[in-house]
């Protein structure tokens, strides 16, 4: 990780991509931007470890990260993938407890950080941010509820399909009925998101392709008939 320099104007422009700040007038955004420190992390680098003390909140400006925990038998479980415009590290600042999970860069990633006291002050002083924050936390809870339900399914094929549908909901773009996911997670990460092995993911993706549900080109995945795919595997 290294700290880099960014002008105030540039910081404000970049912060405008963070949904938490969408309703804020530029003047207030400028004030918050002033307190933020821009940092760069390389692919695979840890932002922090589960159970460490929370000192900062992170806002993703470029790139993406995975939020993980280790299962009892040492397997990585991916709770979420967060990308541009999203934030993480807020939970331990809000409840004063330790970090609830590990966060690791999935690619070279630029973030802005805000330290604990500045983060808490920003929330206290801006009810619009507090409401937006609650909205995002509510959405994350909904996603986690869906993930718990889907992980309880005994059928790995279904779990992988639901995982693809979830990524499509979060990152997909629709064009003439086709839903494209430009940068799918690597197969091992897909496996860790859907509680199965990389081999099963590889086999299942091939099966979905043969059955005409998807096509793939490198990291790009297209769902050919989103409704049909959803009907087949959703519950
Ligand atoms: P914190 O507990 O400080 O550190 C780990 C961070 O991961 C946590 O704050 C949240 O920002 C993020 N996080 C934990 N669980 C989830 C989840 N289910 N979905 C999205 N983000 C999460």
pLDDT tens series, the chain, 235 aa? 877 766 778 888 888 889 888 888 888 888 899 999 999 999 999 999 999 999 999 999 999 999 999 988 888 999 999 999 999 999 999 999 999 999 999 999 999 999 999 999 999 988 989 999 999 999 999 989 888 888 877 789 999 999 999 999 888 998 877 999 999 999 999 999 999 999 999 999 999 999 999 999 999 999 998 888 888 886 5
Number of the ligand 1 atom closest to the C-alpha atom of 93: 3
Reduce the secondary structure of 72-137 to three states and give it as a string.
CCCCEEEEEEEECCCEECHHHHHHCCCCCCEEEECCCEEEEEEEHHHHHHHHHHCHHHHHHHHHHH
Gap from CA of 89 to ligand 1 centroid (Å)? 6
Residue 201 β-bridge partners: none
Gap from CA of 77 to ligand 1 centroid (Å)? 13
Gap from CA of 232 to ligand 1 centroid (Å)? 31
Range of the domain at 51: 2-149
Q: 87 with 168, same domain?
A: no
| Of the residues 95, 124, 149, the one at which a domain ends | 149
| Of the residues 149, 171, 193, the one at which a domain ends | 149
- Residue owning the nearest CA to atom 11 of ligand 1: 88
| Of the residues 119, 149, 179, the one at which a domain ends | 149
Q: For residue 180, give every residue at least 6 positions away whose Cβ sits within 8 Å of its Cβ, in sequence order, or none.
A: 172, 173, 220, 221, 222, 223
Q: Which of 78, 89, 102, 169 to mutate to test the pocket of ligand 1 (most atoms within 8 A of CB)?
A: 89
Distance of alpha carbon 49 from alpha carbon 143, whole angstroms: 22
Q: 130 with 174, same domain?
A: no
Residues flanking ligand 1, CB < 6 Å = 54, 67, 79-80, 88-92, 99-101, 103, 140, 144
Predicted pLDDT at 67:
97
Q: 160 with 140, same domain?
A: no
pTM of the full predicted structure? 0.85
Angle formed at CA 179 by CA 206 and CA 103, multiple of 5 degrees? 80
**62: nearest Cα among 29, 40, 33:** 40
Predicted pLDDT at 5:
66
């Amino acid at each position: 990780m290294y700290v880099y320099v960014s002008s105030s104007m540039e910081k404000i422009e970049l912060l405008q991509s963070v949904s938490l700040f969408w309703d804020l007038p530029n003047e207030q955004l400028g004030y918050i931007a002033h307190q933020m420190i821009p940092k760069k992390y390389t692919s695979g680098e840890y932002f922090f470890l589960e159970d460490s003390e929370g000192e900062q909140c992170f806002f993703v400006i470029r790139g993406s990260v995975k939020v993980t925990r280790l299962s009892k038998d040492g397997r990585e479980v991916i709770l979420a993938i967060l990308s541009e415009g999203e934030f993480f590290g807020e939970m331990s600042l809000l409840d004063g407890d330790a970090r609830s999970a590990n966060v690791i860069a999935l690619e070279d990633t630029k973030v802005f950080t805000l330290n604990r006291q500045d983060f808490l002050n920003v929330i206290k002083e801006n009810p619009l941010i507090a409401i937006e924050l609650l909205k995002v936390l509510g959405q994350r809870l909904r996603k986690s509820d869906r993930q718990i339900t889907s992980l309880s399914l005994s059928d790995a094929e279904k779990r992988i399909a639901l995982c693809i549908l979830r990524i499509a909901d979060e990152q997909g773009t629709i064009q003439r009925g086709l839903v494209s996911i430009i940068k799918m997670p690597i197969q091992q990460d897909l496996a860790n998101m859907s509680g199965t092995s990389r081999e099963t993911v590889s086999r299942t993706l091939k099966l979905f392709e043969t059955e005409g549900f998807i096509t793939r080109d490198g990291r790009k995945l297209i769902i050919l008939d989103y409704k049909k795919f959803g009907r087949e595997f959703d519950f």
